[in-house]
Structure 1
Amino acid sequence: MPPPPAATCIAFYPQDNNIIAIGMDDSSILIYHVRTDEVIDKLKGHSKRVTGLAFSTNLNVLVSSGADAQIIVWNTLGWERKKSKMLQIPIGKSPLAPSDTCVQFHQNQKHFLSVHATHLAIYETTELKCVKQWVNGDIFPRISHATFSCDSQLVYASFVDGTVLIFNASNLHLLCEINPAAYLPSDISSKAYPVAIAAHPQEPNQFALGLTDGGVVVIEPLESAGKWGELN
């Protein structure tokens, strides 16, 4: 007998913390009530494992993303599917293996960040329109993770070679590049790289990197700079 589907991601429903959305590796999404131990609904629309979930309370929607490079918007009032769209992956940039896609809402709850191995994108949720996109060219390898700063003014992105890029969230204009040698000891810099980024909840210019070797590094701009500045 095959094992049951495994959970791949989770998101709490902001209006009721007893309700959670659970993305599964069989491509479904379970809407589960913790207190009653009941599956309220099972959402089907992805063709591969679900890799990202994000709620907008202002719009009453759940946005899901998957390894199928598809984004789906669900109405949380009845859990119906509203819109869906395939990611605009640049020609010639499709990864050899399916890439996890993550989603995160902007502070305004109207736009969200989509993170794929090949590119970053900002979407307007209602029309599911891509309003800004940054494509990873030939200079950098695969994107490993990205997140908004706590005030949604910046986007922090990490790459599998250890590079970290900092963007202006309004236009995805590159502000700063951090070389891995700046935060990794030389003896491990060629082996470890970030696989997760967490923004500080109160300090917009500070973030933490979770590394493949189990380490965690907290990064902030030099005291003399105060914030991440523009590239010269």
Structure 2
Amino acid sequence: MTGFLLQKLHGAIILTFGSSSPTAGTSVGVADRIALMTVMAGQNGDSQHLPDMKPNHTDELEKSNTWMLTEFNKLSQLRSLRLPDCLMPVRISRLTYTNSGGAILALGFNAVHKLWKWQGNEGKATSSVPPQLWQPSNGVLMTNDKDPGDAIPCFALSKNDSYLISASGGKSSLYNMMTFERMTTFMPPPPAATFVAFYPQDNNIVAIGIDDSSIDIYNVRFDEIKSKLKGHQKRVTGLAFSNVLNILVSSGADAQLCVWSMDEWEKQASKFLQIPPGRVSSPHAQTRVQFHQDQIHVLAVHETQIAIYKAPKLEYLKQWVPQESCGSVTDATYSCDSQSIYASVEDGSVWVLTATTLQPRSRISLDAYFPSNLSSRIYPIVIAAHPSQPNQFALGLTNGGVYVIEPPESKGNWGVILPLENGAGPSFNLAAALE
């Protein structure tokens, strides 16, 4: 491995992999970026009187750690794999791992799905072994009915990976994942489906966010709407269930979050994201939500920020805002163990944050996984976390590429923890970092 550059600037300790020359993207530019990469805490606009997230033992350990931000700026500094693709490269709109962890499913803006399956590595996704772009023997593709308007593509996999519900502005389709057969279509627009999530207790029931700001609780088997939830003001762009709290959390294009009881489907709480000062939310921003594995804390993803809330009352806990010059947040997700958050930004970078504190651990630049291409602006639109490997994630890019990203084998995880010595504060063992 090439040299390291260790600096302490603006209170941020930065470990940069690669050359220590000025062209390595370090020194003042990085320091200024870190200084301006903010973690804000506040409630009702008051950042001085916010009760912090009630920690468990793991949270306390995370908060006691001092992370040294690790920069990845070159292809040789991490493990990455562009998934092979013989089909037309089209901007990726949705991306997920299968629940088994052995395949990745993508939906392009052309309404065509792509499924990559790993045969090696015991059938688990990895950056070390290329997967196969899989199609059934008849060569059929899973292709949604497409609406040429302002559609929001969406899909959801059943828990057993056998069925897919997907929509690209037209009718919603139910597919058999083994044969790619379209088994049925339902809910023809207008209004169009904008998000879909399987009900945790029954694969026959799904929650479907609608362009008209409502949410349908739909029984696929009987082709009937069991309940229609009304409480949003704009189109619904995110849905997440909590078995622990027996609630559904939804999010809308106007940055509104709502909580619904799964018993009577009544609205229990509603709150708007706090847009950071100086930022403007676009009218069609896709606010998304995801539960921490404790099914109590909620990750809210918006173009201006990522934020942590505590359900069911939607207590606002923390907020992370990228520097304005880096562009908007494009997507974010918890790692499978909920210890990290992977956040992609418009400048092509991916940030690895500690989930409890939103403290940055690593910054992965576009150059670290994508060969230089100055002819077009390329960046991740969607990000997905492996369901059982906490340090692996996948990216779907504007140019249609899908990448699997993992840390160097020598490190095994993202970021470096500075140990505390005799309570005197952080120190750094360079030999340990080089191991």
TM-score (norm 2): 0.51
2-structure distance, mates of 1:95, 1:228: 31
* Aligned mate of 1:182, from 331, 343, 368: 368
Partner of 2:296: 110
What's the secondary structure of 1:43's corresponding residue? strand
Residue pair 1:180, 1:189 contacting (<8 A) in 2 also: no
Partner of 1:19: 205
Partner of 1:49: 235
Q: Could you tell me how far 1:188 is from its partner in structure 2?
A: 6.2
Uncovered stretches (5+) of structure 2, i.e. residues with no partner: 1-188, 418-427, 429-435
Percent of pairs identical after alignment?
59
Comparing 147-156 with 135-144, greater Cα deviation is found at: 135-144
Alignment pair present for 1:92 and 2:268 = no
What's the secondary structure of 1:203's corresponding residue? coil
* Alignment-mate amino acid for residue 119 of structure 1: Q
1-structure distance, mates of 2:416, 2:278: 30
- CA deviations on 1:196-228 (whole Å, 9 max, x unpaired) are 111011110000001111110110111111100
Partner of 1:156: 342
* Alignment-mate amino acid for residue 64 of structure 1: S
Residue pair 1:7, 1:24 contacting (<8 A) in 2 also: yes
Alignment pair present for 1:214 and 2:379 = no
Structure with the greater relative contact order (CA < 8 A, sep ≥ 6): 1 or 2?
2
Alignment pair present for 1:77 and 2:77 = no
2-structure distance, mates of 1:189, 1:206: 29
2-structure distance, mates of 1:25, 1:230: 44
**Do the aligned partners of residues 150 and 92 (structure 1) sit closer, same or farther apart at CA in structure 2, a change above 3 Å counting?**
same
- CA deviations on 1:75-110 (whole Å, 9 max, x unpaired) are 010100000001111122123443110000000011
After the TM superposition, list the runs of 4 or more consecutive aligned residues in structure 1 that deviate by more than 3 angstroms: none
Partner of 2:244: 58
* Aligned mate of 1:200, from 367, 386, 393: 386
The structure having more radius of gyration, on CA atoms, is 2
What's the secondary structure of 2:367's corresponding residue? helix
User: Aligned pairs, how many?
Assistant: 230
Q: Could you tell me how far 1:230 is from its partner in structure 2?
A: 3.8
Partner of 2:305: 119
2-structure distance, mates of 1:139, 1:116: 16
Q: Could you tell me how far 1:185 is from its partner in structure 2?
A: 1.4
TM-score (norm 1): 0.95
Per residue, is there more strand in 1 or in 2?
1
- CA deviations on 1:164-193 (whole Å, 9 max, x unpaired) are 111000110011001101111112684221
2-structure distance, mates of 1:24, 1:214: 26
- CA deviations on 1:55-80 (whole Å, 9 max, x unpaired) are 00111100000101100000010100
2-structure distance, mates of 1:92, 1:190: 28
Residue pair 2:215, 2:236 contacting (<8 A) in 1 also: yes
Q: Could you tell me how far 1:136 is from its partner in structure 2?
A: 2.4
What's the secondary structure of 1:181's corresponding residue? helix
Residue pair 1:181, 1:189 contacting (<8 A) in 2 also: no
Comparing 44-53 with 188-197, greater Cα deviation is found at: 188-197
1-structure distance, mates of 2:374, 2:398: 11
Q: Alignment RMSD, CA only?
A: 1.5
Residue pair 2:261, 2:267 contacting (<8 A) in 1 also: yes
**Do the aligned partners of residues 188 and 97 (structure 1) sit closer, same or farther apart at CA in structure 2, a change above 3 Å counting?**
farther
* Alignment-mate amino acid for residue 193 of structure 1: Y
Residue pair 2:254, 2:283 contacting (<8 A) in 1 also: no
